[in-house]
Amino acid sequence: MFLLYYIRWIGTATELKEYVGRITEVTTKIDGVNYKGIFSPTSEWNFVLLFEGESYNKVLEVYKTYMIKYGPHPKVPVAKVEVLHEMDELGFSL
């Protein structure tokens, strides 16, 4: 499965680089999750972070670990999570 984490960013480029570094550091310590990078979507969101995970719980572990270690980031006033399931995860084969 893939998880898209859309954020509205109100900080500087340097602060964003630090934020992404923290996310990367947390993700590398959790087996079953692969951080794919940060992208600029064609929507109202500033950025979207892409994760590939074995399960939703594995990706959620990244979020929980980040929050325990760093707390909510003041430069992310609002965010949205979107989960993309592969068809076989839902019982369909194409």
Q: pLDDT digits over 39-67, tens only?
A: 999 999 999 999 999 988 999 999 999 99
35, pLDDT greater than 80? yes
What predicted TM-score, i.e. pTM, was given to this entire model?
0.89
With b for 16 or more beta-carbon neighbours within 10 A and e for fewer, the 36-47 pattern comes to: eebeeeeeebbb
Q: How many C-beta atoms surround the C-beta of residue 52 within 10 A? A: 15
What's the confidence (pLDDT) of residue 39? Answer: 98
How many domains does one find in the chain? 1
92, pLDDT greater than 90? no
37, pLDDT greater than 80? yes
Asked if 1 and 84 count as a contact pair (C-beta separation under 8 A), the reply is yes
Domain ranges, residue 64: 2-90
What CATH number does the domain containing 47 carry?
Answer: 3.30.70.920
What's the confidence (pLDDT) of residue 88? Answer: 83
